[in-house]
Amino acid sequence: MKALFINGSPRKNKNTAQMLESATHGAQEAHDLGKRLVDKAKEQ
């Protein structure tokens, strides 16, 4: 199974990032998923 979580918020570690982290963690526990974080804000 593959899952894609995208955070488009420019605010690091705020509500959206925390919600996605929780969702990612839950998905990893339910399924054998790897995790790759792409932070576009750091790339610019």
Residues 1-44: tens digit of each pLDDT: 677 888 888 887 788 888 888 888 888 888 777 766 666 665 55
The pLDDT assigned to 40 comes to: 62
CA 18 remoteness from chain centre: 8
Query: Is the torsion defined by CA of 9, 44, 2, 34 positive or negative?
Result: negative
Q: Which residue has the tokens 């919600």?
A: 19
